[in-house]
Structure 1
Amino acid sequence: MPRSRSLRLLPLLTLTACISGPTTPTGQVPSTPVEIAPPAGTEWYRHAVFYEVFVRSFQDSNGDGKGDLPGLISRLDYLNDGDPSTTTDLGVDALWLMPIFDSPSYHGYDVVDYERINPDYGTLEDFERLCAEAHRRGLRVILDLVINHSSSQHPWFVESASSSTSAKRDWYQWRDNNPGWKQPWDAYSTTQTWHARNGAYYYGVFWGGMPDLNFKTPAVREEAKRIAAFWLGKGADGFRLDAARYLIETGSGTGQADTPETHAFWKEFAAHVRQVKPDAVLVGENWSPTSSIATYYGSTDKMPGGDELPLNFNFPLAEQMISGIQRGNATGIAAKLAEMARVYPAGVADAPFLTNHDHVRIATQLGGARGQLVNAASLLLTLPGSPFLYYGEEVGLANGTTNNDEAKRTPMPWDASSSGGFSTSAPWFSFAPGRESANVAAQTSTSSSLLSRYRDLLRVRQSSAALERGGLTLFTPTSGNSLTLAFLRTLADERVLVVHNLSDSSATAGPFNLAESTAEPLFTDSGATYLSEGSSAGRVILPARSTGIWRLR
């Protein structure tokens, strides 16, 4: 696609928000525009769109009511059929598989064998076939690698617990007495993290069934690197790193998270992974404030994009996006983008998302409100970085009716039949309510459906280098109230203006002082209008909960 001519920004950028209906106070635009640089480096993962899959809930192939790897293979064409000329696939670039290793639990975060596929899901040969079929379509596959802890049933721990003189005693942390540490993510926690076994106490920050591995022990470090190399050799393209900030403890409280020793190991691990497979990705789960997340990129002095974890989930931005959509006010999102611009190392790639397997689903949080779900999709797929979708978000899948984590991970509804197109027998867990309309078949051929919006936005994103891997210039104020979020996405000579209306009223954004600009619509909801006001300014009119995307020339 031809790229636009260079667009010069005038020295002074101004923004006002005008709305129909009650007058709303407007925040102040920073005198210096907020700028986020394009990601450095050319690796595929710095601009890919990822899709998180809970294999148990995606597609059953053998009628046991549990999803499996052959079932996932049978649905790959839904995710990406490998043909850019078709429009029936979702169009994502990569899959993140929640834990698939052998485990006694339904969720798999307590591993008993790091080299064996959970028998519910299939075999190692099934995994290799999945990678081959995904790669044939241009899809990458990353695995949930859970090495902060193992299952208490893992042979390593069984041996470690057997005797104080066990050869693997120091593979886990043991004390003669209970130091009384609490869980570090809750200042008011009363939950114990040291657990009694055979006359001693071992450390398990989450619970006693998941004892923490001791990464101060060189043999543990080498084993983790060997396991990573094993799966990279089987076709994996990288790893999502569970509980990455809790790896190495130096004491209670602040010594249980984000320690220098933890950062040092991830740098060591990242260097090893790059050596084995140079374009493999590591994605950190560091559920913490923005300033803490920023440290997990490591140093950019010698490694573009950072020498530690090249992608890190942006939990604070997810919270602000959902809050802004609910309140109809974009300034919280703008403030979070401004904070990222200040504290993230220049040139790193963000990993934005809406919800994942640990959250109440976005459709439930937003009460199923279509306009708000439309906003959520539009925001996620137009911000910089590598966005992550949680399976079912694209059809508005809600939470189940229980209060446990299983309700966040219910079976994927492929159609409205009693089986949901998921299995020929009763599913392992009940479907979420609302699947009569929140299913793939009902939305596939409907141009106004949520699924169609995700597909359309993904294709628009992939058609524009600026949207896919460009930087950002923010136009929205970072305080007060603004019904619209407006920003410019830029790469080389391509400039794309994006404006979202997060309110239930029509809104006008601008004027934007942009020199030499004419606007080519890339994606506009009905009624979304760009009004040119001479050679150097433009104004945007947006109906409620709508989006407009224009390439400026």
Structure 2
Amino acid sequence: MRRPRSLPLRALVVALVALLSSACGNAPAPPPTPGPTRAASAAPDWWNGAVVYEVFVRSFRDSDGDGAGDLAGLLEKLDYLNDGDPATDSDLGVDAIWLMPIYPSPSTHGYDVTSYDAVNPTYGTLADLDRLVAACHARGIKVVLDWIPNHTSDAHPWFVDATSSPAAAHRDWYVWRSPNPGWTQPFGSGPAWFPGGGAWYYAAFWEHMPDLNWRNPAVAAEQSAAAIRWLGHGVDGFRLDAVRYLVENGPGPGQEDQPETRAALKAFADAVRAVRPDALLVGEAWADTATIAPYLGTPTAALPGGDALPLLFDFPLADAIVNGVSAGDARPIATALDAVARAYPAGTGDAPFLTNHDQVRVATRLSADPARLGLAAAILLTLQGTPFLYYGEELGLLNGDCADDACKRTPMSWDATATGGFTSGTPWWPLAPRGPTTSVAAQTGDPGSLLSRYRRLIRVRKASEALRRGGTERLAAASPGLLALVRALPGERVLVVHNLGIDTVRERLAVTAGAATPLLADPGAAIAPSPEGAEVTLPARATAIWRLE
């Protein structure tokens, strides 16, 4: 939910260090040692290893020509996502969709909710949602809803009542002080307290999104009850927004990552699991690895994936992938993977991704370079955990021509027409700049397209239990551009090698095998397996995936 920080300068720093080292005649850095092995997640649930596709309904497909996407439009395009037939290869093959907020809201983004129990009329009706869920389930697609537990809209009936009187029934559903405590936002310099209702109310993100008071048991109870009501409509889980900020104990660091916040999230998760034990719960904790890890909770016999939130988006790894691919350096990715292996409890999961709705799109960050985009896709879809794709990433969709959040959420490009096949009317927001091949129609049927690569990678992942659910052993590599992983489960070992560099790499890796069967190998990739180790050859920005015998 929060606005992104400035893009990291890692790529520039890496390039400058390499240039200076070369100019000064420095000896090359010693090969990195192997990384810590990360065991496979012990969670048996459907989401372990699944591929999830993030959809902004407003920008996906408009069925009625009003310029805004809707649930009926999404229903029209389900076969693009997964047609339900494993024998076909014309669909993307995703296992689940995450719908950004579909609730009534005065804003286009939807994160200021005015009702947790209804559908935004722009998107359709509750009956439309029910039809969508049924159609998804018929195709084997799970449905995950965005959940916004930290705040509501200031137009929510609860807050309208809360501001009416200090004695109002919902007064204590929000956080009040008098006089103004004067705190600034936990992630910025803007104010966190605003006047209203005869006092000052707390709103960490925006004055029109007042924070709920999670110290009030009635708030916690209603949040759980509302989520359970959606489970009654057949939804399969929730993406929890801004989970670091539910409870605040003071200014500055006291506004984030409090023990009471983690306890509240665990109680919410327990309530959801009591009704739907296999529900997906994935949290947005935009932070470093050490801060993210405690939100997983503790693995138990009943909950081997962690007794709190079983998945958290891996923001450090996402930045490492995009920056590493940009710079041609695998070491940031290796460092991020090793940090997760050390910090996350054994048996827990991970939620890798490239970019999301709050970030500059990966195609823009990688200058729309087809080789780099294909490489980033391959890295993501060969990682351990539950990878998330942002709609349009599979096409190389660029950011729009502004810095606003809307330019990260522009309409989907289905064809080469002026409106991209998104609508028969005027799009609610201009389409992002597009080349002649930036559309589903142009890339479908082209085996060399980015869309075809995503489709193939997802099918390769589904065909290998080790890729879907296996653990990870990171191998040492002398080349700074080489990322080598062994993904393994009992009965299957898969070697995954990515060359992020601009030169062909030939290197012997410390992995033994009598034979190697290619699951995916870019042109020029080769392997000579032996009991002494596997010698691999990989061209620039190429990937190879071999099943080892």
Which TM-score tier does this pair reach, normalised by the shorter chain? over 0.9
Conservation of the 8 A alpha-carbon contact between 1:27 and 1:482 = no
1:44 to 43, 46, 51: 46
| Equivalence for 1:499 | 497
CA distance in 2, matches of 1:240, 1:133: 21
Matched with 1:398 is: 398
> For residues 146 and 433 of structure 1, do their structure 2 counterparts lie closer, same or farther at Cα, with a shift above 3 Å needed?
same
TM-aligned CA deviation for residue 352 of structure 1: 0.1
> Structure 2: how far apart are the matches of 1:408 and 1:364?
10
CA contact (8 A) 1:381 1:387 kept: yes
> 1:128-185 CA deviation, whole Å, 9 max, x = no partner?
1100000000000000011200000000000001111111110001111111111112
Contact 1:331 1:476 in 2 (8 A): no
Distance in 2, Cα, partners of 1:516 & 1:391: 38
Q: Secondary structure at the match of 1:158?
A: helix
Q: Distance in 1 between matches of 2:210 and 2:198?
A: 16
Contact 1:313 1:350 in 2 (8 A): yes
Matches within 5 A, 1:344-383: 344-383=344-383
* 1:108-142, Cα deviation, whole Å (9 max, x unpaired): 00001111100000000000110000000000000
The Cα offsets for residues 16-63 of structure 1, whole Å up to 9 and x where unpaired, read as xxxxxx999344332x64201101121001111000000000000011
What amino acid sits opposite 1:51 in the alignment?
Answer: Y
Q: Is the 8 A contact 1:517 1:537 kept in 2?
A: no
Q: Give the letter for the 1:444 counterpart.
A: T
- The runs of at least 4 aligned residues of structure 1 exceeding 6 Å deviation read none
Q: Post-superposition shift, 1:444?
A: 0.5
Counterpart of 2:272, as a letter, is V
Q: How does 1:321-336 map to 2 (within 5 A)?
A: 321-336=321-336
| Contact 1:80 1:137 (8 Å CA) reproduced | yes
Paired residue for 1:158?
160
TM-score (norm 2): 0.94
Please give the per-residue CA displacement for 1:215-259, whole angstroms capped at 9, x wherever unaligned. Answer: 100111110011001101011101000001101111111211110
CA-based RMSD of the aligned residues comes to 1.4
Partner of 2:28: 25
C-alpha contact 2:475 2:510 (8 A) present in aligned 1: no
- Give the aligned residue type for 1:57: S
SS at match of 2:113: coil
> Residue 517 in 1 paired to residue 531 in 2?
no
* Aligned equivalent of 1:456: 456
Give matches, 1:28-427, under 5 Å. Answer: 28-30=31-33, 33-186=35-188, 189=189, 191-302=190-301, 303-427=303-427
On the 8 A contact 2:419/2:431 being kept in 1, the answer is: no
Q: CA deviation at 1:516?
A: 4.0
1:382 CA displacement: 0.3
1:550 correspondence with 2:546: yes
How far is 1:267 from its partner?
A: 0.9
- How many Å separate the matches in 1 of 2:513 and 2:239? 44
1:453 match: secondary structure: helix
Distance in 2 of aligned mates of 1:524 and 1:45? 27
Tell me how far 1:536 sits from its aligned partner. Answer: 3.0
Instruction: Give CA-to-partner distance per residue, 1:298-347, whole Å, 9 cap, x none.
Output: 01134201010011000000011111111111011101111111110011
SS in 1 for 2:417: coil
| In 2: Cα distance, 1:305 partner to 1:254 partner | 28
Equivalents in 1 of 2:468, 2:308: separation in Å? 23
Query: Match for 1:185: what amino acid?
Result: F
User: In the alignment, is the contact (CA less than 8 A) between 1:331 and 1:481 conserved in 2?
Assistant: no
Render the CA deviation track for 1:479-538: whole Å, top value 9, x for unaligned. Answer: x961110010001120000000101221123x1233343110010001111123x43321
CA distance in structure 1 between the partners assigned to 2:244 and 2:427 by the alignment = 35
- Residues 530-545 of structure 1 correspond to what in structure 2 (within 5 A)? 530-532=527-529, 534-545=530-541
- Cα distance in structure 2, aligned partners of 1:332 and 1:199: 51
Residues 468-477 or 151-160, more deviating: 468-477
Distance in 2, matches of 1:213 and 1:171, equals: 6
Structure 2: gaps (5+ residues): 1-21
Conservation of the 8 A alpha-carbon contact between 2:79 and 2:91: yes
State the match for 1:15 in structure 2. Answer: none
> Residue 499 of structure 1 aligns to a residue in which SS?
strand
More displaced, 123-132 or 196-205? 196-205
Once the two structures are overlaid, the 10-residue window that deviates more, 81-90 or 496-505, is 496-505
- 2 CA distance for matches of 1:168 and 1:109? 20
Q: Does 1:473 align with 2:447?
A: no
Query: Structure 1, residues 263-303: CA drift from partner, whole Å, max 9, x if none?
Result: 11111111110111111111100001100111110011342
Determine the C-alpha separation between the residues in 2 that align with 1:27 and 1:437. Answer: 43
Letter in 2 for 1:160: A
CA distance, structure 2, for counterparts of residue 146 and residue 27 of structure 1 = 47
Residue type of the partner of 2:170?
A: K
TM-score, structure 1 as length reference: 0.93
1:397–1:435 Cα contact (<8 Å) kept: no
Q: 1:265 to 1:369 in 2, by over 3 A?
A: same
If asked which structure has higher relative contact order (CA below 8 Å, sep 6+), I would say 1
How far apart, in 1, do the equivalents of 2:329 and 2:360 lie? 22
2:62, 2:73 within 8 Å by CA — same for their partners in 1?
Answer: yes
The residue type equivalent to 1:438 in the other structure is: T
SS of alignment partner, residue 72 of structure 2: helix
Paired amino acid for 1:121: Y
Contact 1:476–1:482 (CA<8 Å) still a contact in 2?
A: no
Name the amino acid aligned to 2:460: V
CA gap of 1:481–1:496, structure 2 versus 1, over 3 A, is closer
Tell whether the 8 Å contact from 1:366 to 1:373 is kept in structure 2 after alignment.
yes
% identity of equivalent residues: 53
Which one-letter code corresponds to 2:386 in the other structure?
Answer: S
2: distance between equivalents of 1:476 and 1:284? 32
Structure 2 counterpart of 1:59, which letter?
Answer: R
